[in-house]
């Protein structure tokens, strides 16, 4: 029984790691004609419709109390709303592989916010790992930031991405709390994605941007991929893992994501990597592994 549980946990690790390694690049096809806030809303409205339909077909209950809906909405705004809004905007200014590297810092934020909100202890090895992670991240971005000139928006891209990481981590912690309150992953994620998508759409309307859509094959295909594979499949596996082993250790699945994303960025975005970023990635990954090892 224990062996089967470990095997299933490994599968839950692998699914979001491999999928999210590619979604950073897929997001670049969402940028251009359509404002990012609308692309985020389309992604999660589509994911919500498909996921809720799945729940109805499988007769999975979608009934929750008003209090439970408030917590589902809170998780949705962090995880399926502002997290991706900041991420989409950041990819307008920096390569998708660099965004993935910054997002690996969510491991340490999960530990920090877990301590603040869930009272989970922080171990010394996590602090050491976090220090290595910060050093590694600085080395990765040092060549990029050194070239920043007046009017260059690389720094803005980094700040937007960091804001997205904070939102993602708060969403992870909210998910961990919700599961401790016995809220099931699949229906709460389905409803949460719909909440996130509808909220972003309303926010876009209030901002004064008229709705728009790109009918090109690249936009539509990437939208479907991000909605079904990148959202429903990946988040279901990842949030289930959070419920089993906690938000801090579940984030270990994200260690391999930057490696996959950087390789894709080098191949398809012509990202030129030098020795210092390579060293930074190694130090960052080492810090992640050290922080989460048993």
Structure tokens belonging to residue 117:
């909100």
pTM: 0.85
DSSP-assigned letter for residue 30: G
Average pLDDT score over residue span 188-192? 96
Q: Give me the percent of the chain exceeding a pLDDT of 70.
A: 92
In whole angstroms, how far apart are CA 205 and each of 192, 208, 210, 212?
Answer: 20, 5, 6, 11
DSSP notation for 118-166: H-----HHHHHHHHHHHHHHHHHHHHHHHT--TT--HHHHHHHHHHHHH
- Cβ–Cβ under 8 Å, residues 108 and 125: no
Q: Using 50, 70 and 90 to split pLDDT, how confident is the model at 280?
A: confident
Mean pLDDT of the residues in the chain: 87
- Alpha-carbon span 192 to 75, nearest angstrom: 7
User: Residue 230, SS3?
Assistant: helix
Q: Provide the CA 197 distance to its chain's centre, in angstroms.
A: 15
Closest of 237, 286, 278, 245 to residue 104, by C-alpha: 286
Q: pLDDT tens for residues 41-54?
A: 999 999 999 999 99
In whole angstroms, how far apart are CA 269 and each of 54, 139, 188, 223?
Answer: 36, 20, 36, 19
How crowded is residue 279: how many other Cβ atoms within 10 Å of its Cβ?
Answer: 14
Q: Using 50, 70 and 90 to split pLDDT, how confident is the model at 155?
A: confident
Q: How far apart are the first and last CA of the chain?
A: 21
- Alpha-carbon span 150 to 109, nearest angstrom: 31
- Cβ–Cβ under 8 Å, residues 99 and 159: no
């Amino acid at each position: 029984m224990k062996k089967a549980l470990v095997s299933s946990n490994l599968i839950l690790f692998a699914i979001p790691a491999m999928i999210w390694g590619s979604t950073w690049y897929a997001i670049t096809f969402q940028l251009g004609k359509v404002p990012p806030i609308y692309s985020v809303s389309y992604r999660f409205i589509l994911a919500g419709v498909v996921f809720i339909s799945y729940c109805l077909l499988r007769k999975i209950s979608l009934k929750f109390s008003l209090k439970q809906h408030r917590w589902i909405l809170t998780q949705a705004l962090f995880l399926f709303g502002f997290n991706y809004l900041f991420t989409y905007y950041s990819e307008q200014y920096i390569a998708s592989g660099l965004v993935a590297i910054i997002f690996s810092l969510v491991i340490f934020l999960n530990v920090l916010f877990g301590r603040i909100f869930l009272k989970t202890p922080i171990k010394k090895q996590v602090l050491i790992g976090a220090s290595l992670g910060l050093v590694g991240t600085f080395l990765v971005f040092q060549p990029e930031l050194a070239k920043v000139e007046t009017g260059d928006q690389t720094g803005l891209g980094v700040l937007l991405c960091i804001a997205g990481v904070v939102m993602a981590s708060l969403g992870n912690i909210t998910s961990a709390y919700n599961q401790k309150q016995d809220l099931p992953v699949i229906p709460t994620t389905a409803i949460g994605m719909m909440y996130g998508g509808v909220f972003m759409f309303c926010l876009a309307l209030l901002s004064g941007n008229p709705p728009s859509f790109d009918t090109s094959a690249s936009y539509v295909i990437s939208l479907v991929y991000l909605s079904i594979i990148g959202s429903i499949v990946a988040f279901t596996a990842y949030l289930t893992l959070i419920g089993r082993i906690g938000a801090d250790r579940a984030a270990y699945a994200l260690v391999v994501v930057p490696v996959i994303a950087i390789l894709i960025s080098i191949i398809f975005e012509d990202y030129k990597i030098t020795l210092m970023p390579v060293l930074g990635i190694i130090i960052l990954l080492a810090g992640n592994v050290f922080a989460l090892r048993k």
